[in-house]
Structure 1
Amino acid sequence: MTIQFLDGRLSVNRNDSSGTDGITDTPLLIGDIGLQTGAAALLGNEGDVRVALTGTVGIVVDGVVAELTFTIERNGTSAPGSGVLILTEAFNTGGVNTIGPVSISAGDFPPAADVLAGEIRYTLFVSATITEGNIALSGPVVFNGTAFAGTTTS
Structure 2
Amino acid sequence: MTIQFLDQRISIHNDGFGGTEPLDDLPILIGDIGLQVVAANPANTSNVRVLLTGTANVALSGSPEEPGPTVVSLTVERGGDGTAGTGVMILNQQFEISAFSPFFPISVSAADFPPAAAVLAGEIRYVLFIASDGDVALILNGPVVFNGVAAAGTTT
2:148 is the counterpart of 1:149: no
More displaced 10-residue stretch of structure 1: 110-119 or 61-70: 61-70
The structural deviation recorded for 1:95 is 2.8
Decide which of 67, 71, 75 is 2:75's aligned counterpart.
71
Q: Give distance in 2, aligned partners of 1:125 and 1:82.
A: 12
Q: Give distance in 1, aligned partners of 2:43 and 2:73.
A: 37
Aligned to 1:104: 108
Decide which of 105, 122, 142 is 2:126's aligned counterpart.
122
Work out whether residues 74 and 120 of structure 1, in 8 Å CA contact, stay in contact via their aligned partners in 2. yes
Q: Give distance in 2, aligned partners of 1:56 and 1:150.
A: 28
The structural deviation recorded for 1:98 is 3.5
Corresponding letter in the other structure for 1:96: F
Q: Give distance in 2, aligned partners of 1:25 and 1:43.
A: 42
Aligned to 1:14: 14
Corresponding letter in the other structure for 1:6: L
Q: Give distance in 1, aligned partners of 2:100 and 2:145.
A: 23
2:50 is the counterpart of 1:51: yes
Work out whether residues 61 and 97 of structure 1, in 8 Å CA contact, stay in contact via their aligned partners in 2. no
The structural deviation recorded for 1:77 is 1.1
Q: TM-score, normalised by structure 1?
A: 0.93
* Count of residues in correspondence between the two structures: 151
Question: After superposition, what is the alpha-carbon deviation per residue over 1:37-93, rounded to whole angstroms, capped at 9, x for unaligned?
Answer: 1111x3511000000000111110366631111100000111000000000000210
| Structure 1 unmatched ranges of 5 or more | none
Q: Secondary structure at the match of 2:118?
A: helix
Corresponding letter in the other structure for 1:141: V
Q: Percent identity?
A: 50
Work out whether residues 60 and 98 of structure 1, in 8 Å CA contact, stay in contact via their aligned partners in 2. no
Corresponding letter in the other structure for 1:34: G
The structural deviation recorded for 1:97 is 4.6
2:90 is the counterpart of 1:60: no
More displaced 10-residue stretch of structure 1: 62-71 or 10-19: 62-71
Q: TM-score, normalised by structure 2?
A: 0.92
Q: Give distance in 2, aligned partners of 1:16 and 1:79.
A: 25
Q: Secondary structure at the match of 1:44?
A: helix
| Structure 2 unmatched ranges of 5 or more | none
